Amino acid sequence: MPYGGGKIFISACIVLLVMMHEAGGQPHPTDHTVFDVTNFNAIADGTTDDAMALIRAWVAACHSGAAAKVLIPRGNFMASEVVFAGPCNATKPIIVEIQGTLLANTDLSSYPLSAWITVERVDGILLTGPGTINGRGESAWKYGMDSDLPLLPISLLVQSVGNAKVADLKFVNSMGFHLKVTDTKSIDISKLSITAPVDSPYTHGIHLTNSTDVNITDTVIGTGDDCVSIGDGTHNILVSGVTCGPGHGLSIGSLGKLVDETNVSGITVTNCTLTGTKNGARIRSYHGSPKIDATGIVFEHLVMEGVQNPILIDQHYNSTDNSQQSSVKLSDINFRHISGTSVSPISINLNCSSLVPCEKVELADINLTPFDSTIQQLTSACSNAQIITQGQIIPAMPVRCT
């Protein structure tokens, strides 16, 4: 069985006392002391488990009391579960620079925390490349569709972190989500490349939850699920300059699945291109949800190329019991300056909740045309929505949305 219980649990606190007696750092011309993982017995052979070496280098840097950099040099470094934990007393920001390739241990029992690399409780950190984080998910994806098993490990989990930056890295073939950010304030994510096959299950590119002040910019994502998904408890989020495809699009939600979910506000998705995705600009929520609000959401300046469901509000996501409508209240929703081609006959579909209808849904300057000659004409549909139109809307919206 792939989940046979945790064989390895690695945490920074285990090795803290050991690291108090080890140096391993070398001066760096930029005044950062470099903690090269090979000085902590990491072996770049692609088969030795280097998780402990990575942890020991991190702990030494974290508690150095100076400007510090953890360096993973060129080469192939295999590792099982790794936790980079704070708080740190190093000068902010502490740097983790990946020049080589990190390879995930393919033994699923090596991940009792359901994450491969975790960064937690750190204020001020830069994770940078130009290296690669390879989740080697090919052998694990067959378990991803089994609902009786836990979700597959996240490649990089950033939780309870502040003032962070993740940049110039390549993510490949994560077992589960490639990058998840949760309970975090102020993080910039930029210039990433995230790739996995279109049929790899739940391999989201970037997923956010319970986080504030997040910028995702200039990133290329093609996976088997959402390129970017924005969950509950998120506020002041910018997604800009993302190239998405293949995948499931740029999504708010799913919202309302769990009883303790909280409000969403201030989300802007702008200047993005989507190619061959299952959805374009999407908001989704479940039936029987808690009463939460999602407001101040803007999708603008988007280009769709052969996209299914280019503009979609789905408040009946994965729901079969129509007696329980969604209680997620959507308001001040804006779809502006969206153009391109649709492979779905219904290219604009606003399917809101009858319990709490959508309010102030703006459509402005929309121009969607058929992807090819197999679609004669595009149409729009809406229900339980108060809509406002500005400029030209192609295809035209129905007169009534009740």
> Whose structure tokens read 């391109």?
340
Phi, psi of 119, rounded to the nearest 5 degrees: -115, 120
Give the separation between CA 24 and CA 39, rounded to whole angstroms.
Answer: 6
Q: How many CB atoms lie within 10 A of CB 215?
A: 16
Of 86, 93, 91, 141, nearest to 119 by C-alpha is 86
Cross-strand partners of 69: 34, 95
Phi, psi of 58, rounded to the nearest 5 degrees: -60, -50
| Active-site annotation holder among 178, 204, 207, 248 | 248
Cross-strand partners of 348: 311, 380
Give the separation between CA 135 and CA 140, rounded to whole angstroms.
Answer: 10
User: Under 8 Å CB-to-CB from 375, ≥6 apart: which residues?
Assistant: 342, 343, 345
* Helical spans, DSSP H, in 77-215: 141-144
| DSSP states along 210-255 | S-EEEEEEEEEEE-SS-SEEE-TT-EEEEEEEEEE-SSS-EEEEEE
**Contact predicate 51/15, CB 8 Å:** no
- Asked, as a colleague might, if the bond just before 2 is cis with ω within 30 of 0, I would say no
Tokens of 212: 């504030």
Beta strand 132-134 with 212-222: parallel, antiparallel or unpaired?
A: unpaired
**Contact predicate 163/215, CB 8 Å:** no
Give the separation between CA 363 and CA 385, rounded to whole angstroms.
Answer: 12
> Whose structure tokens read 């080697």?
136
Tell me whether residue 248 is one of the annotated catalytic residues: yes
Tokens of 280: 């374009």
User: Residue 211: is it exposed, middle or buried by C-beta count within 10 angstroms (0-12/13-18/19+)?
Assistant: buried
Catalytic residue IDs: 248
